[in-house]
Each structure stands twice: as C-alpha cells, then as structure tokens.
Amino acid sequence: MKVLIAYSSRTGNTRRVAEALAKAAPEGSLLARVEDTPSADGFDVVFAGYWLDRGGPDANAKEFLHSLHGKHIVLFETMGADPRSEHAYTGFANAGTELSPDNQIVGVFAVQGVDPALLAMMRKMPEGSAHHSAQMEQTVKEAAKHPNAEDLKQAETYMKQFIEKYGRYHH
C-alpha cells in the first residue's frame, strides 16, 4: 500500500505530526508539503494534514483538498483546542466540505498544538471576549506544549493501526 502524507504547516506543528505518521507509513509512501505534492494518482490513501484556521483547514490545505478526486482520505489536524472537543470535530466536518463527493474520508486524527504568537494576539482582543478569557488563555498555554513526544508516538501508532486495519480490506 502506498500512502501520500501531504501537510500544511505554518509553525512546524503539523509538519512534526506528518513526519511521525511517515515514520510508520509503508515503504513507497511519500511525505510532502501540500504546496510541493505531486499528483495523488498512484497512492492508495492520502493523509491530508492542516492547521485549523477559524474552524477549518488553512488556505493552502483547502486548495490541496480541492485537488483530490476519487481518493480514500485520512484528515489530520492540529489546533489549540482539545483534540476531543467539538471544535476538533467541526474542523473535520469543515475539511470534508472542501472535498469533492467522489472522495471518501476513511479516518481522522487530531493533535493539540498552536502558534505561540496566538496568545499575544488574543491578549490584544477585548477583555472578556470569547477569544480573550482566562479559560481560553489556559487552553492556549496548554496547547503551546504540544505536539509533544506522546502526541507524536500516538501519530505513529495511528498509522500502524490504520495500515493494519485498512490493508486487510484494500489490497
């Protein structure tokens, strides 16, 4: 099985997750930034990674997602919020709307991680707003510690388990 791991990363967080996924990917797989990705033809599965920007994939990732047709896709995202939060699920749903209907989403994987500059930007917003609260500040401080070694190990494990499960049904 050949896997294309394409990612968009502004701060390096999504790139680090993509690299962890690539460590466990089958031989013949390819890791590339979405801007440098060749055609997805010839790959059995596309892992498409992005950072959340206003609740959806960033602009470069959107462009890449639009280019995919007839593919099995695993979406992976990095964000400031908890990876098990509604915000994470909404991010996957919004990414799905960027895909043509001939694609099939076969998996999702989220990791916390945020641009440390976000905290400074949030502090400039009006006190008490949804993006400048004590709770939001705590969330961003926690997110700035990620992706950590445990997160990257989970990404490797996700790939191994995905290949084991998916490979049984798609040869």
Q: What is the pTM of this model?
A: 0.85
Ranges of residues in the chain whose predicted pLDDT is under 50: 171
Give φ, ψ of 78 to 5 degrees: -115, 145
CA distances from 71 to 130, 146, 159, 165 (A): 37, 30, 17, 17
- pLDDT of 66 reads 97
- pLDDT of 33 reads 98
Say how far apart CA 109 and CA 33 lie, in whole Å.
Answer: 18
